[in-house]
Structure 1
């Protein structure tokens, strides 16, 4: 279809959407749902849906607008269904005027979170209940895309729905995702019926996922576990992390999950790991660093704050004998040296905040002085320790 041909169809869809949005004046049927009335038009519903054609004609001709109760689906899912019947368009994402449908994360796009999956499953139920095959197919495609990015728990919920309703394409996508996930049979059986877990195991054997996850001769078991944990952290899939820890017994400390999260993930992910209570906030990695050392190296005040809030010790020293405060002070010295040489200015506000957090947690040496940079930004810095700080160019 050419662009010129598609424009009239877009206009037609928009016109019918407006008819639904402003249809009370011309409406001859209303639906009572969640304490509200939704106004619609018999001719449109009867032309687009055999279900509504059957229901509306069974009531016979009426003079007054008919009011029909709806209780099987919620208001938003019902409106999505009507909008599809009127315009042929599907949008599972909430508009700016709609509530977030249960998601409490203000920055969420509501495209793969728990609330988004819940709504898509409800929309699928509405499509099937009202016998709208085209809508059912489109929602299944959306759910398949969600499953690839959603948490493993939500993917399993979609999987169970696909099996119960015999949705073969959706089942194929979700079953392969779960089969590749590496979750143990015991973990699967806690979240899905036994017969579905058995089918997943059969898929693993048939497709080679079982052997691939267990017979990688080039890697040790610990390395495989570490990669699985890091992959879950990279995608911010905290639900999968919880499953790996609680159901499979993966160790956050042995996989250095907290160290990895501080270096590569958001503060939210780090906070959730700490709240699990399964990680030692002062554990050291293979280089002898604690998570607080890494936060100091990155000069990240948010990470420093959340680690200190969970009792990270500022007194732990690395094999080189440095604390997290030493590392931040090194950044300060380098920033001041660079500024004195005319280099690009550093973010002094972040450095100052890092210093304040660590100095509050760790008594500072009496050998400290106030240093003021060219922008009149005050930073606390110790007297130079030539064993730790490099001397400025030309002074050696």
Structure 2
């Protein structure tokens, strides 16, 4: 048997003893009312804290009749409120607030009990997490790294906060004055370094630096939107001068986020609801129409999205929905259309068509934009209110969503 095989066999034998827990345990801990059976030699080998604890002047009995109660140092201080768990649907918990909090708690326990290997692994994990975490979580890790003298983690976090562009008055809500002074010092050194470049290098460097910083802002903005953290996006707009239109924030939100996130974005008042994106010039409403998403269509129309705005090729959101309806009716088997739900397509078409009709009426009837007649008798001259929540509208039309409904007998 080779040396590697011998070690593997030994570790498996130990593992079997550990699994058997109580039978071979020589110490028992009480943790929040639960009994945990452990082994002194393994604890002493891995933790300096337990090595000193078991080798002290009055070591515990080999087999404790009464469980040992040991509190982590963090629990000896003020009582903390229970941390919220991440309920974000689809979150992988790689850099969300709950994942950062768990890593910080693990790090604190590892440092307190002298489990240095675990502490080093957790520090490495946190250094990776903060690259993608929200700026609030970065500041949280920054504070922890300062308290526990973790210089590398401190350096990483302090530079991330410095690059965030958040002004001192906003940082003051999260950080003490001396740390803010350090952040400003980092910013000053960075500024001096940029200005000390040779003239022929300076413009080239500034050009790339600008786009690097903008890319970083956009990535952070998207991570914030993925986490429904519109408040962070607001901070970026206020403190970093983030341009929501150039960052295509609404387009990204419509494609990847919930109706509530898009609504909150629109309510910031810093984004143009009709901003054309890319070479095609699609607005968020074009994107929502292509997705056949009534929720997004309704909230965009609520915030004055223009149903008559055209792409570079002259296509309006209404054109997209009418084309999809025609394809769905007459080419239902075409690949790529199987995901379309009749109810949603019907409602999107009705909402956009109604908005176009209302605008044309306000513009003076036939002299304005082209008038599209209402889809059925339910839509009277007053049309569908643009403030109508799409869920209510879905319920209202839910019984008429099949392909046999009168709506689908229209000539498009």
Aligned 1:123-162 pairs, distance under 5 A: 123-162=106-145
Q: Which runs of 5+ in 2 are unaligned?
A: 76-82, 196-201, 355-371, 377-401
Say yes or no: does 1:284 pair with 2:270: no
The corresponding residue for 1:231 is: 219
Provide the secondary structure at the position in 2 that maps to 1:67: coil
CA distance in 1, matches of 2:335, 2:158: 52
Cα 1:280–1:359, aligned 2, differ >3 Å: closer, same or farther? farther
CA distance in 2, matches of 1:131, 1:242: 41
Say yes or no: does 1:275 pair with 2:274: no
Paired residues of 2:100 and 2:126 also in contact (CA < 8 A): yes
CA distance in 2, matches of 1:354, 1:17: 56
Find the partner of 2:336 among 343, 346, 352: 346
TM-score by length of 1: 0.69
Provide the secondary structure at the position in 2 that maps to 1:139: helix
Aligned 1:64-213 pairs, distance under 5 A: 64-72=64-72, 102-208=85-191, 211=194
Q: Give CA-to-partner distance per residue, 1:1-40, whole Å, 9 cap, x none.
A: xxx8666555655554554444112222111112211111
The corresponding residue for 1:53 is: 51
The corresponding residue for 2:249 is: 257
Provide the secondary structure at the position in 1 that maps to 2:182: helix
Cα 1:171–1:101, aligned 2, differ >3 Å: closer, same or farther? same
CA distance in 2, matches of 1:344, 1:8: 62
Provide the secondary structure at the position in 1 that maps to 2:51: helix
Q: Which runs of 5+ in 1 are unaligned?
A: 76-99, 369-375, 385-396
The corresponding residue for 2:395 is: none
The corresponding residue for 1:330 is: 323
Paired residues of 1:282 and 1:312 also in contact (CA < 8 A): no
Cα 1:228–1:35, aligned 2, differ >3 Å: closer, same or farther? same
CA distance in 2, matches of 1:209, 1:109: 40
CA distance in 1, matches of 2:165, 2:193: 8
Cα 1:44–1:150, aligned 2, differ >3 Å: closer, same or farther? same
Number of equivalent positions: 339
CA distance in 2, matches of 1:330, 1:133: 63
Q: Give CA-to-partner distance per residue, 1:229-255, whole Å, 9 cap, x none.
A: 533344336544243146557564676
In the TM superposition, what is the alpha-carbon distance from 1:307 to its structure 2 partner? 4.5
Paired residues of 2:310 and 2:316 also in contact (CA < 8 A): no
Q: Give CA-to-partner distance per residue, 1:46-76, whole Å, 9 cap, x none.
A: 233231122123333525445121332799x
In the TM superposition, what is the alpha-carbon distance from 1:204 to its structure 2 partner? 2.9
CA distance in 2, matches of 1:103, 1:126: 21
Q: Give CA-to-partner distance per residue, 1:84-114, whole Å, 9 cap, x none.
A: xxxxxxxxxxxxxxxx971112422222111
Find the partner of 1:25 among 19, 23, 26: 23
CA distance in 2, matches of 1:13, 1:352: 60
The corresponding residue for 1:316 is: 307
Provide the secondary structure at the position in 2 that maps to 1:205: helix
Cα 1:330–1:183, aligned 2, differ >3 Å: closer, same or farther? same
In the TM superposition, what is the alpha-carbon distance from 1:122 to its structure 2 partner? 0.7
TM-score by length of 2: 0.67
Cα 1:6–1:207, aligned 2, differ >3 Å: closer, same or farther? farther
